[in-house]
Amino acid sequence: MDSLNTRYVEISPEDIDDKVLSEAGDILKAGGLVAFPTETVYGLGGDGLNPLSSKKIYEAKGRPSDNPLILHIASMDAVEHIAKDVTPEAYKLMEQFWPGPLTVILNKKDNVPDETTGGLKTVAIRMPSHPVAKRLIELSGLYIAAPSANTSGRPSPTKGSHVKEDLFGKIDMIIDSGAVGIGIESSIIDMTGERPMLLRPGYIKPEDVEEVLGEVDIDPVVLGKLMPEGTAPKAPGMKYRHYAPKGDMEVVKGEEIKVSEYILKNVRADADDGKRVAILTTEENKAIYQKALDGLVAGEGNADKPGNRDKVTIISLGSCAKAGQISAHLFDALRSLDNMDIEMIYSETFYEDDMGMAVMNRLLKAAAYKVIEV
């Protein structure tokens, strides 16, 4: 693809520069692409009703064009312009959680092009709460189609620098507003069936939705069950191996002490083989690995291989006692593994209070569902 002259701007969410955001809006209106922050992850925006913009989005991401895009809106009246048959329950859901990290699937109106919905008769809609996203949508006057602003197959970007890594030279503008708050993509609820169905877990939990709507079904892929061959997942994006680090990855599950024993045994063996290894753990547990592995430098049985400790990277995703830390750091950690050319990754299982399901869903995808029970 031709190399574009990408404009990189920083905008503080506390001090929004309307002039720059209007220019970004003009780029979008002219069919160009602008990456912008949302409260979940950075999005790659284009005019959602312009088929050519959607084509450009797929090209820039290297994403299969049957994987539909989410339309981002800034006010409730926008819904009826792009969706039809919207039930009172669907409105109730949107009113409760918007603006915020929830995407709703509704039947689409004819003005939404097949290029945006991947040929589906439904459309995904979300009203973000991030002030920069909100203002950009308002100033552009558009329905902004925006997938996560990463190259297809890489972790979603949670910082402007991640977007730069993947899309610099491929899009017209990148708006950097620092690290996002949530760090994992929005929850997706399909409201076109008889009962609401969760297609992708996120910050908004099924229990939260149940409080408003009663029972919610959960798509089996969400729970980490692989699709039987020949069946199609409800959210087309779920069939691709997302967030895949270059190295192999195992998620280790079981009693805490057995988990750390398993990880340590394997890390030592891999490091002895000269492999670059990483451990994904928590603030609470990282000392267990540090203590045990520091013995590797001149340690028992390793005196002949003094350099092995250098092969091992211990990454803490944050404290599991503080809500939202693990999810906020997960994608950044997965990216750093690639940047360090890590060949083998061992991850603990994270039972974070509020976002456990969302975190484990992303982690299992990254590991291609390789779970070791100890």
Which residues of the shown chain bind Mg ion in the complex (CB under 5 A)?
148
Please list every residue from 354 through 373 that binds ligand TXA, using CB under 6 A: none
120 binds, among ligand TXA, Mg ion, none (CB under 5 to 8 A by kind): ligand TXA
122 and 109 Cβ atoms separated by less than 8 Å = no
Q: Which residue is nearest to Mg ion (CB)?
A: 148
Q: Which is nearer to Mg ion, 238 or 252 (CB)?
A: 238
> Which two structure tokens, joined as six digits, stand for 197?
């169905």
* CB of 307 vs ligand TXA, minimal distance in Å: 40
Quick one: what does residue 344 bind among ligand TXA, Mg ion, none, with the CB cut-off 5 to 8 Å set by partner type?
A: none
CA gyration radius, the chain: 22
Binding of residue 38 to ligand TXA (CB under 6 A): yes
**Minimum Å distance from CB 319 to ligand TXA?**
24
Tell me how many residues contact ligand TXA (CB under 6 A). Answer: 28
Q: For residue 230, how many other CB atoms are within 10 A of its CB?
A: 5
Nearer to ligand TXA, 124 or 357 (CB): 124
Distances (CA, A) of 113 to 11, 143, 310: 31, 12, 52
Q: Indicate the residue among 115 and 343 with the shorter CB distance to ligand TXA.
A: 115
How far is residue 326's CA from residue 179's CA, in Å, rounded to a whole number?
Answer: 14
**Helix, strand or coil for residue 36?**
strand
Residue 296 vs residues 35, 129, 263, 285: alpha-carbon distances, Å? 44, 48, 14, 18
DSSP-derived pairing of the beta strands 43-47 and 187-190: unpaired
Taking CB under 6 A as the binding criterion, the range among 185-193, 213-221, 267-275, 361-369 that sits at the site for ligand TXA is 185-193
Give the residue among 3, 262, 181, 216 at the shortest CA–CA distance from 89. 216
Q: Does 49 bind ligand TXA (CB under 6 A)?
A: no
The Cα 20–Cα 172 span in angstroms is: 13
Residue closer to ligand TXA by CB (options 67, 290) is 67
Whether the CB-CB separation of 264 and 296 falls below 8 Å is answered with no
The CA distance from 45 to 82, in Å, is: 17
Closest distance between ligand TXA and the C-beta of residue 201, in Å? Answer: 12
Residue 103 as a binder of ligand TXA (CB under 6 A): the answer is yes
The answer to the question of residue 67 lying near ligand TXA (CB under 6 A) is yes
Q: What binding mask, one character per residue, do residues 132-171 give for ligand TXA by CB under 6 A, x or -?
A: --------------xxx-----------------------
Nearer to ligand TXA, 61 or 276 (CB): 61
Picked from Mg ion, ligand TXA, none, the partner binding residue 38 (CB below 5 to 8 A depending on kind) is ligand TXA
119 vs 274, beta carbon nearer ligand TXA = 119
3-state secondary structure of 103: strand
Q: At its nearest, how many Å lie between ligand TXA and the CB of residue 291?
A: 38
Give the contacts of 310 (CB within 8 A, at least 6 positions apart).
none
C-alpha–C-alpha distance, residues 226 and 271, integer Å: 32
| The binder of ligand TXA chosen from 93, 105, 333, 357 (CB under 6 A) | 105
Pairing type for strands 34-36 and 371-373 reads unpaired
Closest residue to ligand TXA in the complex (CB): 237
Residue 124 interacting with ligand TXA (CB under 6 A) = yes
Reduced to 3 states, what is the DSSP secondary structure of residue 233?
A: coil
User: Got the DSSP string for 345-359?
Assistant: EEE-----TTTHHHH
Measured distance CA(223)–CA(203) in Å, rounded: 15
- CB nearer ligand TXA, residue 21 or residue 264: 21
In whole angstroms, how far apart are CA 234 and each of 145, 199, 268? Answer: 19, 7, 41
Which one among 32, 237, 245, 324 touches ligand TXA, defined by CB under 6 A?
237
Query: Which positions touch ligand TXA (CB under 6 A)?
Result: 38, 40-41, 43, 67-70, 103, 105, 117, 120, 122-124, 126, 146-148, 185-186, 188, 199, 234-238
